């Protein structure tokens, strides 16, 4: 393996990777896994990727699990990059469809790697606050690994997610509140219960699974990154992970310095990143009375806010909010033109694209990639209401 150490994303303090870690012990900010990319690149060649397995583990040299250890896997990754037809004829538009992952969302990527590492490092009981899809992914991968899953969810989480977690054998606790309240409950109980906290960016390996989105996107695009990426942003792990992947691939000599303009898409009822970006802030204050049917976007305070905002500004991108009614309307438009039943979070990006194009912030000669993070089948409550 080529994992060297963990490094704080804020203060830069180095941590050893060989034991279970949550946040930086000095400043309590997220940790990144750092690799010996020179050594990794001598074994991992982009020219030979095509003969490797069609899963995120094809990039094993830049993932943290030791070579001799079997990953906890359900075949995650390797999702299609589809050309959009008839939705926006003026734009070179592509869709990365993450609904084809196990548990039908992008959360499978992060949990596959994080659960694999947690098991290897000795954890037996894993806990997570979840608005839905992260809980389903944790339940699936802990079941696969023979570990316990303890999932705290808002009481109004879509019923499909709650049922999924329960039928996969997880212990479910429903909370009258938001995902932040669920996280607070885990923090109170985890020491006494012996749980390892798998919250977004509060352990260092979910982002490693998510960064494979960046590797796949580059590989599927013949190593030419798109001009623009639109990503639905709750906790922001995938956006952060892709940016990390782009830096790693440049170090490996696989891509150049050019980066996509990154746009964070949120709901008008919960838009802390949009508000902070527009106000010129480097961090995002908690969004009051957060509400949206797109449960994955209902994250009023993200621990990686400073990283998200830095990426948006470095890339000359931006942040856009979309209301729930527009998400629902656009979902049907996507379905009838693309044959994809997208999650509301994905639909928000299509709606944002229309706004950005009409305002001139995205040009007709730019190649744009939208990420659909999950399947609409998980959100039947939203569409029926």
- High-pLDDT (> 70) share of the chain, %: 100
Instruction: Tell me the pLDDT tens digit for each residue of 143-176.
Output: 999 999 999 999 999 999 999 999 999 999 999 9
* pLDDT for the residue 143: 98
Cα 335 to Cα 347: distance, rounded to the nearest angstrom: 10
Cα 342 to Cα 345: distance, rounded to the nearest angstrom: 8
The pairing of beta strand 125-129 with beta strand 196-197: parallel
The pairing of beta strand 148-154 with beta strand 196-197: unpaired
Instruction: Tell me the pLDDT tens digit for each residue of 188-207.
Output: 999 999 999 999 999 999 99
Q: Which CATH number goes with the domain that contains 298?
A: 3.40.50.1100
Within a domain: 157: no
pLDDT at 255 over 80: yes
Closest CA relative to residue 267, chosen from 354, 325, 308, 342: 325
Within a domain: 213: yes
* pLDDT for the residue 14: 98
Cα 3 to Cα 130: distance, rounded to the nearest angstrom: 28
Instruction: Tell me the pLDDT tens digit for each residue of 8-47.
Output: 999 999 999 999 999 999 999 999 999 999 999 999 999 9
Cα 186 to Cα 150: distance, rounded to the nearest angstrom: 9
DSSP reduced 3-state for 153: strand
* pLDDT for the residue 68: 94
* pLDDT for the residue 88: 73
Cα 61 to Cα 52: distance, rounded to the nearest angstrom: 12
Print the domain residue range for 279: 81-105+204-384
Pair 317, 261: CB distance under 8 Å: yes
Within a domain: 100: yes
Pair 342, 349: CB distance under 8 Å: no
Question: Token digits for 244?
Answer: 């990390």
pLDDT at 117 over 90: yes
Assign 314 a pLDDT band (cuts: 50, 70, 90): very high
Domain count, the chain: 1
Burial 99-111 (b: 16+ CB within 10 A, else e): bbbbbbbbbbbbb
Assign 89 a pLDDT band (cuts: 50, 70, 90): confident
Assign 381 a pLDDT band (cuts: 50, 70, 90): confident
* pLDDT for the residue 85: 78
pLDDT at 225 over 80: yes
Assign 385 a pLDDT band (cuts: 50, 70, 90): low
Cα 268 to Cα 246: distance, rounded to the nearest angstrom: 29
Tell me how long the chain is.
Answer: 385
Mean per-residue pLDDT of the chain:
96
End-to-end CA distance of the chain: 49
* pLDDT for the residue 384: 79
Within a domain: 198: no
Within a domain: 232: yes
What torsion, rounded to 10 degrees, do the Cα atoms 106, 112, 118, 124 define? Answer: 100
Cα–Cα distance list, 286 to 126, 269, 271, 302 (Å): 26, 12, 9, 8
């Amino acid at each position: 393996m080529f994992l060297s150490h963990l490094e704080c994303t804020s203060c830069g303090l180095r941590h050893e990777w060989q034991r279970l870690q949550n946040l930086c012990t000095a400043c309590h900010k997220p940790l990144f896994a750092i690799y010996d990319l020179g050594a990794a690149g001598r074994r991992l060649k982009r020219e030979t990727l095509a003969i490797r397995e069609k899963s995120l583990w094809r990039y094993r040299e830049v993932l943290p699990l030791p070579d001799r250890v079997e990953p906890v896997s359900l075949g995650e990754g390797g999702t299609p990059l589809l050309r959009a037809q008839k939705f926006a004829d003026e734009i070179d538009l592509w869709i990365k469809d993450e609904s084809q992952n196990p548990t039908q969302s992008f959360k499978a990527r992060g949990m596959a790697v994080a659960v694999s590492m947690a098991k290897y490092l000795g954890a037996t009981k894993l806990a997570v606050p979840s608005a839905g899809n992260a809980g389903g992914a944790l339940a699936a991968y802990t079941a696969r690994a023979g570990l316990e899953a303890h999932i705290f969810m808002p009481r109004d989480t879509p019923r499909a997610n709650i049922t999924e977690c329960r039928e996969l054998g997880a212990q479910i606790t429903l909370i009258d509140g938001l995902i932040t309240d669920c996280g607070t409950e885990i923090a109170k109980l985890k020491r006494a219960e012996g749980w390892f906290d798998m919250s977004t960016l509060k352990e260092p390996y979910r982002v490693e699974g998510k960064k494979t989105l960046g590797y796949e996107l580059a590989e599927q695009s013949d190593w030419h990154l798109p001009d623009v990426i639109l990503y639905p942003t709750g906790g922001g792990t995938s956006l952060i992970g892709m940016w990390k992947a782009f830096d790693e691939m440049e170090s490996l000599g696989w891509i150049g310095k050019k980066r996509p303009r990154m746009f964070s898409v949120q709901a008008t009822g919960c838009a802390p990143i949009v508000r902070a970006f527009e106000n010129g802030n480097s961090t995002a204050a908690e969004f009051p009375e957060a509400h949206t049917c797109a449960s994955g976007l209902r994250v009023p305070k993200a621990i990686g806010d400073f990283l998200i905002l830095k990426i948006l500004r470095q890339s000359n991108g931006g942040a856009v909010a979309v209301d729930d009614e527009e998400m629902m309307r656009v979902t049907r438009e996507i379905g009838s033109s693309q044959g994809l039943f997208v999650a509301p979070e994905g639909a928000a990006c299509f709606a944002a694209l229309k706004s950005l194009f009409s305002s001139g912030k995205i040009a007709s000669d730019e190649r744009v990639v939208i990420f659909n993070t999950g399947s609409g089948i998980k959100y039947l409550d939203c569409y029926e209401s």
